[in-house]
Structure 1
Amino acid sequence: MTSPFSRFSFASLRFQFVLLVMVLGTFTIALSTFAIVQDQVRTSHEHSERELRTMSIFVQASANRALRYALPEALEEIMAETAAHRRVQRVVMYRRDGAIAHSVGAYLQDDASLTDKMAVKLEQTQISERISISFMEDRNTYVAAIPVLAPGELLGVPNRYVMMIEYLHPITAADAFANRIGRILVAACALVGIYFLLFWYWRTWVSQPSQALIQALKKARDGEAFKLDKEIKTQELRVIVDAVADMVAQRDIHEEKLRKLTAAVEQSHEGILITNRQGTIEYVNDAVVKATGYSEDELLGQNPRMLGSGQTPASTFASLWKAILNGQSWTGEFYNRRKDGSEYIELQTVTPLKDKSGEVTHFLGIKQDITEQKSIQERLHFLAYFDTLTHLPNRTSVLDMLRNELEVASRKQSWGAVVLINIDRMKDINDARGFQYGNDVLLAMTSRLTEHQMERHFLGHLGADTFCIVISAQFRDSMQIRTVLDEYANKLMALCQEPFDVRGERVQLTVSIGAAVFGELQRSADDVIQSAETALHNAKRKGGNQHLVYRPADGQEIERLYQTEADLRVAIEQGQLILYLQAQMDQAGELAGAEALVRWQHPQSGMVSPAEFIPIAERSDLIADLDRWVLRRSLEVLKRWQDRGQRLTMSVNISPRHIQSARFVESVTEILKETGADPTLLVLEVTEGLLVEDVEQSIQKMKALSELGIQFAIDDLGTGYSSLSYIRQLPVHELKIDQSFIRGIPHTQSDVTMVKTIVSFAQNLNLRVVAEGVETRSQSKFCEKLGIWGQGYFYEKPIEWHLWQRKWGVAM
């Protein structure tokens, strides 16, 4: 059974306060009693001394008169009257030598001898001739020594006497206590009342609120709400309560945050693992358990190396430990093995966790299974460097190979060549038998060229129906390479004229070949390819089925290119250019925007194809002027739409060369400001050529414009230089799939697979996808099913901007 006193702990504030009050009360009462008694005693002494002095003065005067007039009876009477006082014990007159001359108080006769103290007193009084009074504590009496003079036998020499009066002091400390007991009791009761009131106040305003606060804290500790059962009105305690309430509220907030953080960690799709400094696993979340196949108990207490497959390079571990032991975070890839033996690739970020002193105590690992991403990256790498149809190296790979050969040629003073092979009348084959049949023809040509590929020859596919062979720089001079090149071209033409078996059908083909040698001058890879293309175009223009080697003396073509460039400069200045628009349809088949295209109305030559003048502009500084003209006209049209509340996007092609110019960002910003168009509706399309050189500067410029709301799109995806790593760095909002991939859908499985792969990649990066070259209803439905935009002749051919607005009812 619990004792009622169990609530009073010796260490509790309540017990200590009660004990303190009791001690203080007892001490105060005792001190008060002592003070009252002492006051009574002091007052009694003052009264006794005052009465005795008055009596002594009167006795002295009377005794002096009685002795002066020689009246012994009077002296006796004076001493008798004095001795008759209720407190006078005795009256004795001493001579100068200490002998008793007179004495009154017969009951004291036996004790009339002169004590040592009285002898001293007698002597002092005779010397001072003054009345002196002293208290004798051992007898509880006052003794008054009174000097008395009597006429002597010799004239002028009086007889000196000292009269001693012994006066009984009536009150002791006990008597004083007895006399003052009533007052003492009143004072004690008053003090008890005061202490009772103090205790009541303390209990009401301090103890009970404190107990309520303690109970509230206990409930808060147990997870209940912090709530007081009693209102606290004391200001100081109210401050404490408010402070405690704030602390509890902050604790609840922190606990809620911790709960959310714990839930987030536990429910995170990314694996989270914590080890101590020695590498022992102390915590894993559910994602790690699911990813590895091990249970939590199997993982805890182990080292993460248990998950290793042995495929992770030692350099990875070296860089990991170097970073984290220096207190730095580290990110890298591990090749791990699950419990069932299957392997997976994991991207992991390891961060050191430090205590308050800055010492590393644990390591936090955030793990993400990137096996699928790596697979997608490999597929996109394939798209970036290989042709999706022929699986031959694409233009990017050819240019890389050619750059290497140009370096070798420059270093060794040797010569090589580039050979372009184009199938004649390929368009007729596609028109007659369909694109899929045309693809089969390309595959047959790929197989033929691969089978007969010579050593130190690099075979690639530049796109469409053009193949490329790079002959390595192994020849001593231009004469030797030209001779070899002529013989090789003839063999290629003969090889390609042999019948092909396409779907069990014999197909006879001819090819046109354009070649360019390198080694004589310092030339870029693009220049060499361009020279070979010029030779190929000349061969095609002459009817095909022949081969030509580019010669610097081909003046007519050079002159034509030069004249075209000069005319284009005039066209930009004099307004000969015309803005065309082509609709872009969203995933629901609704009008979502338009792509801005440029056409050139030459005063003499008529309409000039963009395929003719844009490459010329690309090779000169005109491309920036041309881009600015198209951008300004496009934004003026976009402003018209904007003013009429029509929110359609406007896509404008921007050349990589223009982006790389110093004033690109400033130029675009100025045109936006001048036109007042909404930048969020502007989409700048950049080709994959942007990724060839000066990538970092281009990315910074694109990011600067993206901060204004401008969107960016990668145009002709898959035909040039794109790679996963670069696309992820670019502030891209849209991917435009090249029409070469769209042409075969939905019937060609390889094209369907590639398009779906690109769409999946784009969706993972939250990018919009636009399919170029949509020409059939089935292709349009395929795009809608994938949830991507479409653009192409199925919807419309490009037309002048004002006709386009009239057709679609825009800004009318």
Structure 2
Amino acid sequence: MGVALSKSLFIKQAVLTFFLAVILSLISSSIQIYEGMQSQKTQIDNNFNELIAVVEKPLAEAVFRLDTDFAQQQVDSLLQIPSVASVEVLDEMGNLFVGGQSPKRSFSVSYQTADQLLSDLQSYERSLHLSAPVFEAGKLTIVPEKRYLITQLLSDQSSILIYNLAKDLVLAFLVSLFFYFLVTYPLTRLTESLSELKAKSSLLLPASLSRFHQSDELGHLHATFAQLWKKLNTALSDLERSDAHTKAMIENAADGIMLLNECNRIILVNSAAEYMLKNKSTHLYLHSLEALHAPASWHKFAETLETLQINQPLTVETVYRVHGIDLPVEIRLAKFKIQDKVETMLLIRDVSKRKATEAHIHHLAYYDPITKLPNRQYLTDELSELLERQQHSVNYSAVVFMDLDRFKTINDSLGHSVGDQLLCAVASQLSFLKEDNVVFARMGGDEFAFLLTCVGNNRETVEKSVCGFAQSVMYACQQVKKAGHHEIHITASLGAAIFKGKEFSTEVILKQADTALYRAKESGRNTFAIYRAEMQAVSDARLVMEKALHHATEFKLFELYYQPQSDDKNELIGAEALIRWKDGEKGFISPAEFIPVAEEIGLIVEIGQWVMDEALSQVARWIKEGKWQPCWRISINVSPVQFQQTGFLPMVKAQLDKHDVPASCVDLEITENMLLNDLAASLKKMHDIKALGVHLSIDDFGTGYSSLKYLKLLPIDRLKIDQSFVRDLLEDKSDEAIVLAVIAMAKALGIGVIAEGVETWSHHDRLREINCVFYQGYYYGRPLPPAEFITAFVDNHPVCPNLTAPIDTSI
């Protein structure tokens, strides 16, 4: 049965129909046989009753007559019947009268079978009696031959069984044949049409199905198959498109993609990964990831890969080794399960450029791009970490701030490129100070800083060490620096804050060092100061000054006063324009206080331009009013910072044009120290100024370092002897000697001389004796506002002396 049911549908149906037909035929025949046997049993009973009725009376009479022979004849006649097995006749006393058994015959049925099938068939007994005379003759017993009877029964019913079975088998064959042509054959044709169907073609209905089955279940089955096939084609098309998209996206992805199997072996590599790893996918297929990693990075990555959970993506960074070169990569790991298989996808991104950018950003954040030194942030972080590490340390450390003196003048006059080269030269020259316990940083502009760690545990010794360090720095800064084509002399001012443990915060320590630096600058520059508590008040006052100075510059709160300049005949030869600042709270503030501050914070250029504009505007008005002689000179102080500005010369020319003031009326006073920065550039600019017709004077002459060396080269008209020499002229022979030397030198060079700071008649008389005939000082008049100056000095001085007349230097 198992084999038959594994065959085609037709064979399955035929076998099942055959078995059902046989079973049903047997059941039907069994019922018929059972009913026939019941009918036969009834017939047997009737036959035996009829037989007994025939012999009953003769046997009764024979017993009555005691005629055994006749009785035996009757018994023998009964035994001739095949269905009788034995006969027995008893007399009235119950004794055997006559009897007998049928002859032995062979049957195909055994006794046991016959007894089981005819178990309800027993012996037939009948009482023998006569009615006339009335006599109870005895009893007749007939035993039926069950084997014969059952044989007859089976013989009669077997034909029925054979007929029914043959009929049912024929019916089953006809049903199977009908099923074959009605179902099996159409299904076979449908199957053949399906097997011959090509991808994405239409499912056509076979001709036989079209004729006979278009509207029945097979037609509906075909329609259902056609719909399913259409959906399958659509799904297949979508799947192919999706697969093509997936492959295209994987292949053209900017990031490298690798797929790992359950054993973490590579089973897929896209083009980006091939390019990144400089290796073909065929070489990487089924290889372990370990071969791609730098040895130091594999262990950590392997642990991450091992512990990665399904559907819990993770981003990690690691390092690949590509042809001996380390390649930093960022990998997006994703483990998933598809059809009971666990796979891991790696999205790999080359982050070498990002790492380089981060390193560059870090370098930009912590290093100065010009000098390549650590910057303010770096030093601040190092100081903060030092304070954290040494909270309870007994060792002192120090922060030393350094500021280049007059760097802004150099930067503005020679250009930022030269300024940057100078900064690099300073950084290079001070590099010898960089030790394990020293951090050297550029804080910004021309300001540098040193962090000295663990200098010692004795405050006095530490201060000496820091002073020695500062002296080394100042000495190095004083050396001639080469910046482009220029040789530049420069000095530095330094301020230090000494601390230990965590008694002060980072901000406080830096502020203390800055305060000490300002104290060093106020002390005359090219010097060094250590922070003391009392310096803070000065620093705070400095900040107040800067704020007020910004306000005054923005709202033009300055005034110009004019101090007369006279000759030995007490006749006016000009005036010096002097700036005055009257603060609302502090009153008048000396220029000696705010001019250096203005130079340091970059306001001096704007202030100087205002002074020139205001002075020339005032002179223009006086000329127009007839109050100013064309031969008089207005002396205007020019800051070294302003003079070195690239736009200084155009500004002077523009001011002259703007106010229409004769250039010969203008005398620009510059300091000799300005020449130390760049003599060549200064000389060129001075010649250009002289070409405009403007006069040039050296102010505070004698206080500089190199005046005698450079004086012969300068295109100047006048020297102003500094008031520090004039003030003590009568008491100090050295000052007198200096004044005499200056006058003699000026005569030899054809340069005029004016003495400032002349406060008494004695000063005037002595200067006149030594042939200095031009003066400026309180003896001749104090600086006054414009209107008061005209009233006090101009109306009574109509004569204009020749400033450059020969001077009698006989003593």
TM-score, structure 2 length as denominator? Answer: 0.48
Structure whose CA Rg is larger: 2
TM-score by length of structure 1 reads 0.48
